[in-house]
Each structure stands twice: as C-alpha cells, then as structure tokens.
Structure 1
Amino acid sequence: MDRSAVHGHEDDEYERESDHENRGYQRLFGDDGLTFGTGFPLTGTNREPPDVDDELRLAKHAESIGFHGLWTRDVPTYWPKFRDAGQTFDTWPWLSHVAAHTDDIALGTSSIVLTLRHPLHVAKSAATVDRLSDGRLVLGVASGDRDPEYDAFGVNHDERSELFRESVETLRAVWREDYPDLQGRWGSLDGSLNVVPKPTAETIPLLPTGYARQSREWIAEHGDGWLFYHLPEHTLEDYVSDWRDAAGETPFAMAVQLELADDPAEEPEPIHQGYRAGLEWIREYIADLERLGVDHVIVGIRNDDREAALSRFADEIISAR
C-alpha cells in the first residue's frame, strides 16, 4: 500500500491533503514496507548531558547505514522516579543541531508534551526546525506522564485532555492560516498577528503518542499517524486492527527496546519496553511487526557498543529486507 496517503474523515475540521509533502513523513511512510528509526540519546547517557560529538557521530552513522529516522524525547525536567532525563538538551535546538549534521534522515519527536508548552511557541519552534532541516520534521505529540511537572508549569492536571486538543487545533490553524482568529486556554489571536515561519508543507505531521487522553477515533481523525509504546504481540495485533478500522491506512508507528545478544540463536528475554535476543529471533519479530501492519518502528539499542549494534541491526535486518 502507498503510505503517502493520509486519510481523514470527511468532517475533519482540519482536512488533510492526500499527499503529504513533508520530506520526513515521506521518508518514514512514503513507500511500502516497514521502516526503522532509532532514538536519542544514542550513547545511552540519559541522566546528564551526553557527549555531543559522540551523539552526532552515531546519528550520522545511523543515517549512513540505512535508518530512516532519528527521534528525540521531550523531557522538560528530571524526575528521579523516572530514572532518566531523556536527551537532556531541549528538543528544538538539539534537532536544529542534528539537522545541520545530517542530510536526508527524518527528524522526529517522541514526543512533544503539548500540555506543558504554549502552542504558539511550539508552532514557531517546530516550523523553524522544519525549515532548517528542509522539511524533515515529524512531530510525535503527547499529553505528558510526569505528575510533578504540571505543578511546575502551573498546569491543571485535570485539563490535560482539553489542553492537548486545543494545542493540536491551534498548531494546525497557525501553520495553515495567515493572521488567524482563534482562542483557547492559552490565550487568543484576533487576526492582527501572524505566526512565522510557516512550515515547508501545509502542516507538520502530528502523531499523537499513546492515547494522549483522547479516543482512538479522535486520534484517527486529527492525527497524521499513531505512535505507540511497546506492546506484547497479541495486544499489538488488536491495537493495529482497531486502528485500521478507525483510520484506514494512516500510519501506525511504535517503539521497542532491543539488546542484541552475541549468540544469534539466543531466545528472547524480556527487558524494559522490549527484549534481549539473538538476531534470528529479532528477525522473526520484525517480520511479525510488518505482518501485523506496523509501518515504522523506533529501535532503542541497549548494547554497550552502540555503534557496532546499530551496524549489526542494519546489516542483518534493514539491508536484508
């Protein structure tokens, strides 16, 4: 199937075009077959700033060996209960820096916490990165999952659902319209102000992450895809099937953590959000994901030697397909 088609309901207030011109979206979903991304921090350093040169070296390496996307998380503060601070660096300057050191690989967020960011700031920052990367930005967007952050940002925890929807509607409007007239909990625009720059395409692709406190039907209607966490295969099968019923061929993406065992025949052992296993089992697992209808998988490599593991995965899985 041609995954460049982005299907929405006819009554979608923000009707999407049939062909998405965003380069990053096309890189991830424009052709038949499963595509692969990987996520920052590529060095595995997630409680303090990682070494920038090492991160960029691995990012360029991932692009050169056939990965289709590089994804970074949006973690505003470090909460020790979660045991990591994500990429540490703020999303927008980091992706701008990565864009300057790569050429064609898609740049994704997994995911921007819309409830904790002003939508006009998100619109301007995202469009800036999209322009600087020549249209390679794809936005995973989320409602957030770290409870203390809502108090830190003065956000009512109980309004997350409404705030998320308002942000999505605002982003679509200010990217597509000049001098828009709209209002929300974030404030109002009366038609006298414009938000610039505009993105390279009519809109930057938005992939709600998890449920984002919305219904599957809302996500299907308003999202350019659905980004989900690792799920057991029997559960994943049901989720993808229900997604197809709601959204047609609109892409389904997921994340999984993998540690590649030295023995290619080693059987799988569960780890957080994924598996440690030999490449023979991993190859079968990836084939099952494609059979179930997954369009893109973000592979978090857990091996100590990340460069070697990325190369093994690319040689044995990506190039062999």
Structure 2
Amino acid sequence: MGFKLGVLPVLGGRGAAEPGVTAAFVRHLEELGCESVWAVEHLVVPDAYRSAYPYDRSGRMGLGPEDDIPDPLQWLTFAAAHTSRLVLGTAMLILPLHHPVDLAKRLATLDVLSGGRLIAGVGVGWLREEYDAVGVPFAERGRLADEYLEALRALWTGAPASHHGRTVRFDAVHSAPRPTRPAGVPVMIGGHSPAAVRRAARFGTDFYPLGVDAEGLARLLARLRAECSALGRDPAEVAVTARAPGTRAEADALRELGVSRVVVRADPRDPERVATTVDRYRREILGE
C-alpha cells in the first residue's frame, strides 16, 4: 500500500504569509505529486507560558512570538486559488476557540471554493494561555469540542438545522453554501488521548494521533476499533494519518497498522530543498 504524502510548511520568522512564497510553494507541491498541504493554528503566542507543550521533551514549542502563524483557513483559501488538485487540510484548528455557527460557514465556503478539497483537522489544543486570551474555559475544552462537532454536523446536514446544547442553541436555521459532500466537510480528529479516540470514532473521517511512536499508535488504533464497534461503525471508515517516519522500518510498521497518509515538514522558502526532501523521502523512507 502506498502512502498519501502530505506536507506541513515549516514556520519561522517573518514571511509565512508572504504571497509569492506561498503561491510558489503550493504549486510546487502539486507539481511534485504531493497529496496534501497542512496549515497549523495558534491565535496568539504568549511571551511566556506555563503550559507544557506535549510533543517535545522540553515542554516548549518551536514557534515563538517572532514567528508568523497565518490564519489557516485564509491561508488555505489562498492556496486553493493557486492549485487545482492539492488537498487542503488544517492540522489542527483549535476547535473550542471557534464558535461553530461561524466556523461551519467558513469551512463550507472554503470547501466549495476549492472544489471539495478541504479536510477540517480539529483538536482541543494544549496552551491554556491561548484559551485565557479568548475567554474560553480551558477545563471545558473537551466538552466544548464534542458539542461543537455536533453543531457543525447539524448545520452541514440539516435544512433547516437545529441544535440544543449547553453552550450552543439554534432552531430551524440555514447555513449556506453547503459543503460539497452530503455528510459535510471531512473532519480529522487530532490528539492522542482516550477522549480524542472516542471523538474520532464518533465524528471523524480521519484520525491523526499526534506525538506517539508505533507502539503507542497500535494501542490507540486498537482502542479506535473498539470504539467504532461499540457505535456500529466500520473502523475502516476512519483513515489514519501519522507524522512522517524516520526510517524504512518505521514506514513498514505504519503500513502494517493501516496508516494511509504521512506528513513531512518542508520549508516554503527553499524550493530546491522542498523537491529534494520529497524525492528523498519517497525513495529512502517510503520505498517508492
């Protein structure tokens, strides 16, 4: 089984939102035959934070206050205008920081304008100080994410749509344009907690378990199969994405686990290195 190859642009310093660099980068990815491009989100980055970044032993993320972090949906809309086949994904929108009625419209609009190329990757985040800046309770993020996913589904599939939750309530409303697919925009659930697995089984078309090795991934996917079975859902309906493995052996292990997409990082400001990275990765790691 061949992997779909996604690319996450490396951010650093100023220029991540520079139009010429972005347009050339996404066109280049399409020419290279990459399947997808992925955009990260942070609404704000505090000067100092006590929250621990879960994907590095240092507890600190690589991005800082001096780095440009474009709005992912606006960045992907720009990318859509310069490509025709590249899948456009968010990895990840911090879902509880966005009101679902507003977000449903934004996601559906991008999906329609791109010809149905959007995957909405969502997670709950880890940076308490970012929640504080928006005025959203950090401790409620899991509950909010579940309710917001229910509301998104209602708005995309109901005509009219109604939802009566603890936080979001609407009756007999219409949100248009509607996504290109009857079930709505595909939703990728990001995370590595039991709650993320349950969310993926219930809401996800895709699952991106971040920050785990092959052994940890195997445990999460076993749990995912169990959760899907409990819901009467075929686990094969949830496609699995993983961070790009570092060796051929790791790639083979991911294939055995049923991973269908891997995501590699590349610097948009260095087109030659982008091509070299993609080519080398395909030959040496994926064995294509």
User: Structure 2: which amino acid aligns with 1:37?
Assistant: G
| Structure 2: tracts of 5 or more residues without a match | 50-60, 229-234
Task: Tell me the secondary structure at the aligned position of residue 224 of structure 2.
Answer: helix
Q: Does residue 39 of structure 1 match 2:8? A: yes
- Which residue pairs with 1:289 in the alignment? 254
- Which residue pairs with 1:178 in the alignment? 159
Q: Does residue 155 of structure 1 match 2:112? A: no
- Which residue pairs with 2:58 in the alignment? none
C-alpha distance 228-146 of structure 1, shift in aligned 2 (>3 A): same
**C-alpha contact 2:4 2:262 (8 A) present in aligned 1:** yes
C-alpha distance 316-245 of structure 1, shift in aligned 2 (>3 A): farther
Deviation at 1:224, TM superposition (A): 1.1
Q: Does residue 200 of structure 1 match 2:154? A: no
- Cα distance in 2 for residues equivalent to 1:284 and 1:309: 24
- Equivalent runs, 1:85-124 vs 2, <5 Å: 88-124=69-105
- Which residue pairs with 1:56 in the alignment? 23
C-alpha distance 185-88 of structure 1, shift in aligned 2 (>3 A): farther
**C-alpha contact 1:179 1:194 (8 A) present in aligned 2:** yes
- Which residue pairs with 2:63 in the alignment? 84
- Cα distance in 1 for residues equivalent to 2:39 and 2:98: 16
Greater alpha carbon shift after TM alignment, 284-293 vs 199-208: 284-293
Task: Tell me the secondary structure at the aligned position of residue 207 of structure 1.
Answer: strand
TM-score normalised by the chain length of structure 2: 0.81
Q: Does residue 253 of structure 1 match 2:253? A: no
Greater alpha carbon shift after TM alignment, 180-189 vs 310-319: 310-319
Task: Tell me the secondary structure at the aligned position of residue 295 of structure 1.
Answer: strand
**C-alpha contact 2:209 2:217 (8 A) present in aligned 1:** no
**C-alpha contact 1:164 1:212 (8 A) present in aligned 2:** no
C-alpha deviations, 1:295-315, integer Å up to 9, x for none?
11111137x984333323433
User: Structure 2: which amino acid aligns with 1:152?
Assistant: A
- Cα distance in 2 for residues equivalent to 1:195 and 1:188: 14
C-alpha deviations, 1:183-238, integer Å up to 9, x for none?
334442121x3111111112111111104772523421221121121422332333
| Structure 1: tracts of 5 or more residues without a match | 1-31, 257-273, 276-281
- Cα distance in 1 for residues equivalent to 2:14 and 2:152: 31
Q: Does residue 309 of structure 1 match 2:273? A: yes
User: Structure 2: which amino acid aligns with 1:38?
Assistant: V
Report % sequence identity. Answer: 26
C-alpha deviations, 1:152-186, integer Å up to 9, x for none?
11111221111000100000000011121223344
Q: Does residue 132 of structure 1 match 2:113? A: yes
After TM superposition, which residue ranges in structure 1, 4 or more long, deviate above 4 angstroms?
46-50
User: Structure 2: which amino acid aligns with 1:58?
Assistant: F
